[in-house]
């Protein structure tokens, strides 16, 4: 009998309509679900034998977007069918995601002890700031909800890149907001130094956090060796046949 196969998927989404990436308890949804809710719904539609549980590598808040987030899950097919190939899995999940603003970009069959969160080497975020616009309506439709528009300046679009193994809650948005506040003269460099040396989120001034809409998770890095199956397991991964969604 085929054992459950563990997959690592990379996915992207426009976060505007979602409560964040992680699942929301049914009693707290209030009309908005997390990206994880929709991904797990798509996996369930493949009718796996095992319960569906997705482990997301990087949490993003409501309104934050991702060009590449990642997660792992186990999937065992019914009737002793062999594991899905990566390409068929991506195609099937994207089909079941329908019109949601979520798409799987690629997938890897990974070892059974692989963990999407704890094996990640780094996460990269980009914060987009549109400068030189007097009103958000002047921005292209593709950018209106995807950047922070600042007024009364002649500078163009800026992108701030942050890379680390992990980040604290709202850390990138706090750093971006502080940099903008210094540039606008609302925060002095000595004040910023004091905030940094305090190492306390309560020391961060109210109202300086950059809005969620300009933040993108762009990359989650792993060691190539961590993604590789053993030769024996690889040989057991046979192409699926018949209905790809059984």
For residue range 124-139, list pLDDT tens digits in order.
999 999 876 666 666 6
Residue 157: which pLDDT band, with cuts at 50, 70 and 90?
confident
What per-residue confidence (pLDDT) applies to 131? 76
Question: What ranges do the domains of the chain cover?
Answer: 5-119, 122-219
Whole-number pLDDT of residue 76: 95
Indicate the pLDDT class of residue 242, thresholds 50, 70 and 90. Answer: very low
For 74-109, the pLDDT digits (tens) are: 999 998 899 999 999 999 999 999 999 999 999 999
pTM confidence score: 0.85
Query: Which of these ranges, 137-141, 183-187, 196-200, 213-217, has the smallest mean pLDDT?
Result: 137-141
Q: What is the pLDDT of residue 239?
A: 43
Amino acid 150: pLDDT: 77
Choose the catalytic residue: 41, 61, 221, 226: 61
User: How many other C-beta atoms lie within 10 A of the C-beta of residue 245?
Assistant: 14
Asked if 128 contacts 142 with a C-beta cutoff of 8 angstroms, the reply is no
Select 5-119's CATH number: 3.30.70.580, 3.40.50.410, 3.30.360.10, 3.40.50.1000. Answer: 3.30.70.580
- 87 has catalytic annotation: no
Residue 25: per-residue pLDDT: 82
pLDDT above 70 covers a percentage of the chain that reads: 83
pLDDT of 36 strictly over 70: yes
pLDDT tens sequence across 48-80: 999 999 999 999 999 999 999 999 999 999 988
Average pLDDT of the segment spanning 29-40: 88
Residue 138, pLDDT score: 64
Domain 122-219 CATH class label: alpha beta
Higher pLDDT, 203 or 134: 203
Radius of gyration of the chain (CA): 21
pLDDT score, position 241: 34
**pLDDT > 80? residue 245:** no
The string of pLDDT tens digits covering residues 210-222 is 999 999 999 999 9
pLDDT at 234 over 70: no
Q: For all residues of the chain together, what is the average pLDDT? A: 87
Q: What is the pLDDT of residue 243?
A: 36
């Amino acid at each position: 009998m085929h054992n459950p196969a563990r997959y690592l998927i990379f996915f992207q989404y426009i976060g505007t309509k979602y409560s964040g990436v992680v699942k929301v308890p049914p009693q707290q949804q209030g009309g908005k679900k997390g990206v994880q809710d929709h991904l797990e719904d798509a996996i369930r539609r493949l009718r796996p034998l095992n319960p569906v549980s997705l482990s997301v590598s990087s949490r993003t808040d409501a309104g934050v977007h991702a060009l590449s987030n990642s997660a792992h899950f186990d999937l065992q097919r019914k009737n002793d069918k062999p594991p899905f190939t990566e390409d068929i899995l991506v195609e099937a999940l994207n089909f079941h995601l329908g019109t949601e603003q979520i798409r799987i970009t690629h997938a890897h069959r990974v070892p059974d002890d692989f963990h999407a969160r704890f094996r990640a080497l780094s996460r990269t975020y980009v914060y987009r700031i549109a400068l030189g616009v007097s009103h958000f309506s002047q921005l292209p439709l593709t950018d209106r909800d995807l950047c922070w528009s600042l007024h009364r300046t002649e500078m163009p679009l800026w992108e701030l890149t942050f890379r680390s193994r992990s980040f604290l809650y709202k850390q990138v948005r706090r750093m971006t907001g502080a940099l903008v506040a210094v540039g606008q003269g609302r925060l002095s460099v000595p004040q910023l130094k004091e905030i940094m040396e305090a190492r306390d989120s309560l020391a961060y001034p109210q109202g300086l956090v950059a809005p969620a809409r300009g933040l993108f998770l762009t990359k989650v890095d792993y060691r190539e060796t961590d993604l590789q199956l053993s030769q024996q397991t690889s040989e057991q991964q046979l192409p699926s046949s018949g209905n790809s969604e059984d």
